Structure 1
Amino acid sequence: MGNRMDGKIVLVTGGASRPGIGAAVGERLAAEGATVVLSDVDLAGVEETARLIRENGGAASAVQHDVASQDDWERVIAELLAEYGRLDVLVNNAGILEVASVASDRAVPALRSQFDVNVVGSFIGTQAAVKAMRQSGGGSIINLSSVAGLVGFRGSASYAASKGAVKLFSKSVALEVAADNIRVNTVHPGIIRTNMQDQGAESNAENYEAIEAAIPAGRLGEPLDIANCVLFLASDESTYVTGAEFVVDGGYTAQ
């Protein structure tokens, strides 16, 4: 156990899936002393993640949360503030991936569903966090985008559109709230070994094989690789970092 996050109150969305980035982030921040509230639409799954964190000596609780619902965001933030008095860090991790070629019948429905969760959900959460953090003197908002928000991915146009939107709205919000001591940054995972990535690989196997073969580091990333980057942005080590994008992809987009 470390102390880089001692005393900080953190909300991490999308914490049910294991292996998953949200669960790994919760585990990592709790191990550094944070009090972590994990949320997910899957209550049983996120309660299990919180239980595992507590079992390892961390402070964690769980709440059911549909990130696409503004009412849910208002409830979750209100309950968190009532319990802890402030919000120091928000990690907008919850997201969905649906592979659909642009000419398919699923292309537009996939676009709408992914924007609801990946963009609208993260945007509403960022808005709610800004309001809470202004009351307590600042904080850090970390929005999970993707390398698909930086470069094109064949067969994933709707997902790439959603993750590109996350990158740019985050930069704009960072400019709005920098004077309030609120930092807003994005993390762009590459191909990470998670449940969601496995689902994408199954539905887009030919393209994923080519993508995996092209990773300069020679391996898929692990959720902990992303959690370590989030830890830096959540901690006081990054107080002069805002409006930035952090790519954790084994060199994939450097090519």
Structure 2
Amino acid sequence: MINISNLAYTFSAPPSGPPVFSGLSMQVRRGEFISIVGASGCGKSTLFRIIAGLLEPSSGTVTMNGEVTASAAARLGQVAYMPQQDLLLPWRTVLDNCLLPWELKRHCSKAAATAEIRALLQRFGLAEAEAAYPHELSGGMRQRVAVLRTVAAGNELMLLDEPFGALDAITRRSLQLWLLELWSELDKTVLFITHDLEEALLLSDRIYLMTGRSGDGIREYSPGLPRPRHHSLSYEPQFAALRRDLELMLYEHRS
């Protein structure tokens, strides 16, 4: 679905410095859930902005669905992108926030789009919050609304940038379980940024470790855990061993 080859990005504003990352290559197959982990500042969010068409790489190629995209503009609108903040518009209700993708694309009537959103609200456990405003929602509910709006964009590929990073541990665990169940039903391909190694192992088919080093920008790790999964998996010895291996790989690259 995506093939990234020898990607590099350097901030052009002075003073010029080393690249954020370089020599970065990775592949994403249709239907996969892939997590990207790495230290702050290694370029994870920058990579997402390049894939989404919001930034132009300094060098390298991004191929989507078998076609090389000649520019960032050619990728705009091809993926659904949820940044770290939920970015819900405070003056709009949950329903109206979720209708934003339709307002940008107008691919069907408003009545049809509203019916589709209401079906998703039911599926996401948010039907009773349809008329609520963002300030009336808990942090977990806001994140679910933001994920719903990303799904409503209609793109097969979803980029989720630390969607649960600002939540407390209990709410985060609840949403991890929710996302596990949801992803199996939606038939989407997901790229997911997280700093939580357990979260990456629990959710992912494969994990990419970003180092930010020149010429050694990324490394692949395959947990090999069967699906379906439940959070109780995180208490098993095999899971603890995988977490240890992943942590050692990260420290190896940071040293």
- TM-score band by shorter chain is 0.3 to 0.5
Q: Greater Rg, structure 1 or structure 2?
A: 2
Q: Normalized per residue, which structure has more helix?
A: 1
Q: Normalized per residue, which structure has more strand?
A: 2
The TM-score, its normalising length taken from structure 1, stands at 0.33
